[in-house]
Structure 1
Amino acid sequence: MSLATKELVLRSHFELKTAILKWFPRHMNRGMREMMQTLRKVDCLVEVHDSRIPFDWMREMMQTLRKVDCLVEVHDSRIPLSGRNKDLIRRLSSLKPHILILNKSDLMDIRYQRRIKERFQSEDSNSRCIFVDSLNPNTRVNGFPEILPTIIEVIRDSDRFNREDFNGFNLMVMGIPNVGKSTIINKLRNTNLRVSGKATTTGAIAGVTRSVLERIKINANPPVYLYDTPGVLEPRIDKGLETIMRCAVCATLSDQLIGYKTIADYILYWLNRHNNHRYVKLLGLDTPSDDITEVLVKGSVYLQNIVEHKSLEKGQMVKRPDVEHTAQQFVTAFRKGQLGRVMLDDDLFK
Structure 2
Amino acid sequence: MCAARGVSVRARFELSAKLEKWYPRHMNRGYREMMQTLRKVDCIVEVHDSRIPLSGRNTHFIRSLSSLKPHVIVMNKSDLMDIRYQNKIKERLESDDSNSRCIFVNSLDPSAKSNGFSAILPLTINLVRNSNRFNREDFNGYNLMIIGIPNVGKSTIINKLRNINLKASGKATTVGAIAGVTRSVLERIKINANPPVYLYDTPGVLEPKVDKGLEATMRCALCGTLSHQLISYEITADYLLYWLNRRNNYVYVDFLGLDGPSDNIKEVLIKGSVYFNNFIDYKSQESGELIRRPDMEKTAKELIIAFRKGLLGRVVLDDDLFS
Distance 1:129 1:20, change over 3 A: same
Normalised TM-score (structure 2) = 0.92
Matched, 1:239 2:200: no
Q: Which residue of 2 aligns with 1:11?
A: 4
Deviation of residue 315 (structure 1)? 3.0
Deviation of residue 258 (structure 1)? 0.6
Distance 1:62 1:318, change over 3 A: closer
Q: Deviations over 1:69-111 (max 9, x none)?
A: 1011111111111132213212123111111111111111111
Deviation of residue 17 (structure 1)? 4.1
Aligned equivalents of 2:142, 2:165: Cα separation in 1:
14
Aligned equivalents of 2:268, 2:31: Cα separation in 1:
44
Q: Which runs of 4+ in 1 moved over 6 A?
A: none
Matched, 1:190 2:190: no
Aligned equivalents of 2:318, 2:230: Cα separation in 1:
22
Q: Does the aligned pair in 1 maintain the 2:233–2:304 contact within 8 Å?
A: yes
Aligned equivalents of 2:300, 2:278: Cα separation in 1:
10
- From 148, 172, 178, the equivalent of 1:175 is 148
Q: Does the aligned pair in 1 maintain the 2:18–2:230 contact within 8 Å?
A: no
Q: Deviations over 1:176-207 (max 9, x none)?
A: 11111111001111111111111111101111
Q: Deviations over 1:153-177 (max 9, x none)?
A: 1111213367122221110111111
The 3-state SS of whatever aligns with 1:22 is helix
Q: Kindly provide the amino acid, as one letter, of the partner of residue 226 in structure 1.
A: L
Q: Does the aligned pair in 1 maintain the 2:30–2:183 contact within 8 Å?
A: no
Q: Deviations over 1:17-60 (max 9, x none)?
A: 432231435x99xxx9xxxxxxxxxxxxxxxx89xx9x954443
Consecutive unaligned residues of structure 1, counting only runs of 5 or more, are 1-7, 33-48
Q: Deviations over 1:253-291 (max 9, x none)?
A: 111211010000100111111122111111111111111
Deviation of residue 210 (structure 1)? 1.4
Distance 1:13 1:310, change over 3 A: closer
Q: Which residue of 1 aligns with 2:137?
A: 164
% of aligned pairs identical?
66
Structure holding more helix per residue = 2
- From 12, 15, 19, the equivalent of 1:20 is 15
Aligned equivalents of 1:82, 1:279: Cα separation in 2:
23
Q: Which residue of 1 aligns with 2:184?
A: 211
Trace 1:200-349 onto structure 2 (pairs within 5 A): 200-231=173-204, 233-235=205-207, 237-349=210-322
Q: Kindly provide the amino acid, as one letter, of the partner of residue 310 in structure 2.
A: G
Q: Does the aligned pair in 2 maintain the 1:83–1:237 contact within 8 Å?
A: no
Aligned equivalents of 1:191, 1:140: Cα separation in 2:
7
Aligned equivalents of 2:9, 2:104: Cα separation in 1:
33
Aligned equivalents of 2:182, 2:66: Cα separation in 1:
22
CA-based RMSD of the aligned residues comes to: 2.2
Trace 1:108-187 onto structure 2 (pairs within 5 A): 108-139=81-112, 141-160=114-133, 163-187=136-160
Q: Kindly provide the amino acid, as one letter, of the partner of residue 212 in structure 1.
A: V
Aligned equivalents of 2:171, 2:94: Cα separation in 1:
33
Consecutive unaligned residues of structure 2, counting only runs of 5 or more, are none
Question: Which is greater in Rg?
Answer: 1
Aligned equivalents of 2:251, 2:182: Cα separation in 1:
35
Q: Kindly provide the amino acid, as one letter, of the partner of residue 246 in structure 2.
A: R
Q: Does the aligned pair in 1 maintain the 2:47–2:148 contact within 8 Å?
A: yes
Distance 1:141 1:266, change over 3 A: farther
Normalised TM-score (structure 1) = 0.85
